[in-house]
């Protein structure tokens, strides 16, 4: 179930407002020297604009009524305590954090009409990475055919997407990147204990992505706030499987590889930091609470949003976007999925002041202020452009398979011949 939400930045060839991309729509590496770190006298202001967005969620939907068949819970309890009605779950083994992330990333790139090989950096924020290593971001980079991109995962739990936006902004403002693809990708259903009613009803799977581009157009991501309080690390954790408690028969049989949470403590923390972080980021951006057009909060629990953003900050309901009833808590994916749906619903227009705010395990919290400066218009998906894209994806898959095959063949030869007859260090004889 892939979504580009049928809306796209209007991309004129070299428009005055433009598409938000610096120097038109290409991330030409030669143009980077014009950033703040460029040659003396060549300074021109740079801005970090979101120019593409997309998401993907698995087909399979599990409703609260379905959950009633699995654990001792009731639709009424879940709805009234969390606001959640259903969630998407990665039922097929081929649906992984990377595969969902690849589809979301493609959608964001297509929305911006940017070729994957223009991307300089891929940051995947995830709480359910494919492996401890390699990074899920590297697998996504390969799947997208983003052959010129660096890639890394960012671990800040549900705050991760906003943390990653902050990193993307930093890279762009420093002149180190023209395009950064920021992805939040999750398959939390794989690390949830489906016998624990206190957690399994809360989470869902999915991925959301945005393409952040260097731009001459003022606005974009204007301020960020990042926070952490590790004294609460034990309140929300997957205790086993890392270096502190390596996986063993005992850790698996005791369920140490599943999410463990003190829900009440996390609830209390979340309601406090969501309001505080929003206030702080607005202060940094020089905005008053009444100047905010839309808040997109982390979609964990409607009561957390009500008790923080709505009650404490007195931001009216129509200025807060909520879609958690359909997806549950998709951790790092929740804000980008909500962004896509807000755009599709016509809730965002150029000139709007947005706030993204999240919290999560760590404990962590993060907020960013965005002056939306990119036009939003219906995409023109031509037959030719779609064919080109499909060819790009197929070429990426073929290139990846070819590299793997070459490595396999290469590994058949003895080390001596691989190194042109030179003995490996430490080898006798
Ligand atoms: N169905 C029915 N009853 C339940 C369920 C369930 N699924 N879960 C718990 N209960 C019961 C409890 O056993 C308890 O029963 P008792 O009174 O007989 O002991 C009762 O409901 C109340 O439980 P509480 O935990 O006090 O319920 P609360 O109102 O606090 O809601 C919840 C629990 C929804 C988990 C809430 O605390 C919460 O949302 N916390 C924040 C969680 C969160 O957002 N985590 C994600 C962080 S993001 C990240 O980094 C992944």
Name the residue ranges covered by the structural domains of the chain.
Answer: 2-371
Claim: this prediction has a pTM higher than 0.85:
yes
Measuring CA to CA, which residue among 315, 269, 275 is closest to residue 292? 315
Query: In CATH, what class is 2-371?
Result: alpha beta
Q: What pLDDT is recorded for position 34?
A: 42
Catalytic residue among 19, 298, 301, 340: 298
Query: Ligand 1 centre and the CA of 62: distance in Å?
Result: 19
HSE-CB of 357 using CA atoms within 13 angstroms: 29
78-134, pLDDT tens digit by residue? 999 999 999 999 999 999 999 999 999 999 999 999 999 999 999 999 999 999 999
Q: Is the CB of 264 under 6 A from ligand 1?
A: yes
Q: Is 23 a catalytic residue?
A: no
- Reported confidence tier of residue 33, pLDDT bands at 50, 70, 90: very low
Look-up: residue for tokens 């058949």? 412
The per-residue b/e assignment along 269-292, b for 16 or more CB within 10 angstroms, e otherwise, is: bbbebbbbbbbbbbeebebeeeeb
User: Using CA positions, which residue lies closest to atom 50 of ligand 1?
Assistant: 360
Residue 424: pLDDT above 60?
Answer: no
398-421, pLDDT tens digit by residue? 999 999 999 999 888 877 776 655
User: Using CA positions, which residue lies closest to atom 47 of ligand 1?
Assistant: 360
Query: Ligand 1 centre and the CA of 254: distance in Å?
Result: 21
353-403, pLDDT tens digit by residue? 999 999 999 999 999 999 999 888 766 778 888 899 999 999 999 999 999
Q: Is 115 a catalytic residue?
A: no
């Amino acid at each position: 179930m892939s979504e580009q939400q049928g809306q796209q930045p209007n991309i004129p060839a070299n428009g005055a407002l433009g598409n938000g991309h610096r120097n038109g729509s290409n991330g030409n590496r030669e143009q980077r020297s014009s950033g703040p770190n460029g040659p003396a006298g060549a300074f021109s202001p740079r801005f970090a604009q979101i120019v593409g967005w997309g998401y993907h969620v698995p087909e399979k939907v599990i409703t609260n009524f379905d959950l009633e068949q699995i654990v001792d819970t009731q639709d009424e309890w879940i709805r009234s305590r969390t606001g959640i009605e259903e969630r998407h779950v990665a039922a097929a083994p081929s649906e992984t954090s990377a595969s969902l992330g690849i589809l979301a990333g493609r959608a964001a790139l297509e929305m911006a009409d940017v070729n994957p090989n223009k991307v300089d950096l891929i940051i995947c924020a995830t709480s359910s990475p494919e492996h401890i290593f390699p990074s899920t971001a590297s697998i996504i980079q390969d799947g997208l055919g983003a052959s010129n991109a660096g890639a890394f995962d960012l671990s800040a739990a549900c705050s991760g997407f906003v943390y990653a936006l902050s990193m993307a902004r930093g890279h762009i403002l420093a002149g180190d990147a023209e395009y950064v693809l920021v992805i939040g990708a999750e398959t939390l259903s794989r690390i949830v204990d489906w016998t624990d009613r206190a957690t399994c009803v809360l989470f869902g799977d999915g991925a959301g992505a945005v393409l952040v581009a260097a731009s001459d157009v003022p606005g974009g991501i204007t301020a960020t706030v990042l926070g952490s309080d590790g004294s609460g690390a034990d309140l929300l954790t997957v205790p086993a499987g890392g270096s502190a408690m390596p996986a063993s028969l005992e850790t698996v049989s005791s369920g140490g590889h599943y999410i463990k949470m003190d829900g009440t403590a996390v609830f209390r923390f979340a309601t406090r930091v969501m309001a505080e972080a929003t206030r702080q980021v607005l202060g940094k951006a020089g905005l008053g609470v009444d100047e905010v057009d839309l808040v997109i909060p982390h979609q964990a629990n409607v009561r957390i949003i009500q008790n923080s953003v709505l009650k404490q900050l007195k931001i009216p309901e129509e200025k807060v976007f909520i879609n958690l009833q359909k997806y549950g808590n998709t951790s790092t994916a929740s804000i980008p999925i909500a962004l896509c749906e807000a755009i599709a619903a016509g809730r965002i227009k150029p000139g709007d002041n947005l706030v993204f705010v999240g919290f999560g395990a760590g404990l962590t919290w993060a907020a960013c202020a965005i002056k939306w400066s990119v036009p939003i218009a219906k995409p023109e998906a031509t037959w030719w452009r779609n064919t080109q894209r499909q060819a790009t994806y197929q070429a990426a898959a073929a290139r990846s398979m070819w590299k793997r095959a070459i490595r396999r063949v290469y590994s058949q030869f003895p080390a001596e011949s691989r190194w042109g007859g030179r003995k490996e260090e430490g080898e006798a004889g």
